[in-house]
Amino acid sequence: MPAKDSRSDARIDEAEQELLALSIEAQQADWVYNTYLTRDTEALSSRANARLIERTVALAKEITATPPPSDAIRARKANLLRVSLPLVAPSAAGGPERLATLVARMQGIYAKGTYAPKGTSTPVDLQALSRILSENRRPDVLEDVWTGWHAVGRSMRSDFTEYVRLANSGARELGFADTGALWRSRYDMPEDTLAREVERLWSEVEPLYRSLHAYVRRRLRERYGASIVPDHGPIPIHLLGNMWAQSWEALAADVAPPGSTPAYDLTEILRRRGTEPVDMVRFAERFFVSMGLDPLPASFWERSMFVRPPGREVVCHASAWDLDYVADLRIKMCIEITAEDFRTLHHELGHNYYQRAYAGQPFLFRDSAHDGFHEAIGDTIGLSVTPEYLVRVGLLAEVPPVENDLGLLLATALEKIAFLPFGLVVDQWRWRVFSGEISPEEYNRTWWEMRERYQGVRPPTPRDETEFDPGAKFHVPASVPYMRYFLAHILQFQFHRALARTIGAAGPLHRVSIYGDRRAGERLGAMLAMGSSRDWRDALETLTGERAMSAAGLLEYFRPLQRWLDEQNRGEELGW
């Protein structure tokens, strides 16, 4: 092993400050691009990100080639620097600029995507198309809208192929086999160990998903008939109320327990009260404040984008930002007055409060324990958006009776459990693309093979290689790793169960809310403040007392629903 050298310590310290400045510059350029989509802002964003990528790669290579640092803290920083970028450009002349341009262009194609549904002449954006999918029940309309949006990927295909080649070249320069291996190496474990962990977690939750799938398939068959929805086999994807079938919550009323009535309609409640977008954000902020955390800074309210600005193109996909990595917290979102956006805002502010909590760490530690933690925090808060919570904040007059729990649990499962296999597939597919196991000539075929294998869904019409359906999901053209969302859907229930125990909550897990409990805030805050300064197992233990990710909390949360689904599916063939 090379001797330790104090010069390595100094170089890491210098690199950290240089990368902080470049990261702020890239964040600012990205913010302008995302909130003001033009050719010029795209170019500015591309150049800023190219500079960041180029210097990060150069510094990672330099530090990797030098003797190890003299202390464990700097050694961890060196490793985090090496795996910090989800996208690494090759060092050849023009490589960083070309890769940044490809990603910006694909992201711009996605953001500007529109389609005019049959019988109309005006193209509408993804939000409007998604509303049709969630609200309409005519199969021909749903098929038209689904197919119309998915055409957005066609013109990305060649860019994506080049992006894979360049990204892999850059990853290999850092010593990784490919970009997928780089992504899997960010979890404080060998990259093949992560793949096994993911499959282990999926095996724990797959039986519950298959039970939910069988029940929903039967209820859809009752609505549409066996000619559209088979007795056994995958569900036609356009009937599930979401463009990617990553959530089935739009079907909650359609597949509710027979004879049940909705306990409440949060969307209707919010709209009836005249709730404005900023009011939605205030509800979410008050949740965190109720646990003893500080209100958001005034700059958050001045600089965030809460609604689509008139007269210009923007990226409406909800996201949380910390532009200076200290206190310039913002969200970017085209808020609609819906129950879904109410929960989304709790999620996005979870990112902001995590960002604020670890702002006191050195720059290379200003991140979550692993990326699944960042996604899980806001969703953990979302699990506390219970009827009891809604009563306490004045949105409900009284807590619905216990008989309504099955309907609420089913609605939650349509969002959370339905997501799990999709959360798995997006990166499982990309890992195989990056490794070369999937060639460009079979992008679409393998995408749908994996969607059917894990999700049990199929497209409404045959899809061939003239299409590029993965490009119809934001995270693919934007080069955002997706496994974090699968892990977050496991972790949020593990976190929720631990916090419920912290406050000594009695009763079933799905009725617990940590709103207003400072004990929960202290426990949560202690973990958030660690950032990525320690192995993620240490952070997990700080919050939960456990050192392994586990689906036990999820299974406990949905145990009453699993028993009910078993009864409903008696005589029904599970699987596809």
Contacts of residue 538, Cβ cutoff 8 Å, sequence gap at least 6:
369, 530
How many other C-beta atoms are found inside a 10 Å radius of the C-beta of residue 3?
Answer: 7
Residue from 115, 209, 358, 485 carrying the catalytic annotation: 485
Residue from 151, 177, 318, 529 carrying the catalytic annotation: 318
Tokens of 519: 């004990």
317 tagged catalytic: yes
Residue from 375, 415, 452, 467 carrying the catalytic annotation: 375
Which residue shows structure tokens 């389609």? 115
Residue from 191, 285, 336, 348 carrying the catalytic annotation: 348
Which residue shows structure tokens 């549409």? 224
25 tagged catalytic: no
351 tagged catalytic: yes
496 tagged catalytic: no
Task: Please state, in angstroms and rounded to a whole number, the distance separating the CA atoms of residues 250 and 248.
Answer: 5
375 tagged catalytic: yes
Contacts of residue 527, Cβ cutoff 8 Å, sequence gap at least 6:
369, 539, 542, 543
CB 146 within 8 A of CB 262: no
Task: Please state, in angstroms and rounded to a whole number, the distance separating the CA atoms of residues 527 and 540.
Answer: 8
Burial label, 68 (beta-carbon count in 10 A; 0-12, 13-18, 19+): middle
Residue from 213, 317, 489, 496 carrying the catalytic annotation: 317
Residue 458's H or E segment, with its range, is strand 457-458
How do strand 235-236 and strand 457-458 relate by DSSP bridges?
Answer: parallel
347 tagged catalytic: yes
How many other C-beta atoms are found inside a 10 Å radius of the C-beta of residue 397?
Answer: 9
Task: Please state, in angstroms and rounded to a whole number, the distance separating the CA atoms of residues 192 and 190.
Answer: 6
Residue from 16, 97, 475, 556 carrying the catalytic annotation: 475
Tokens of 470: 């993965």
Residues annotated as catalytic are 317-318, 347-348, 351, 375, 475, 485
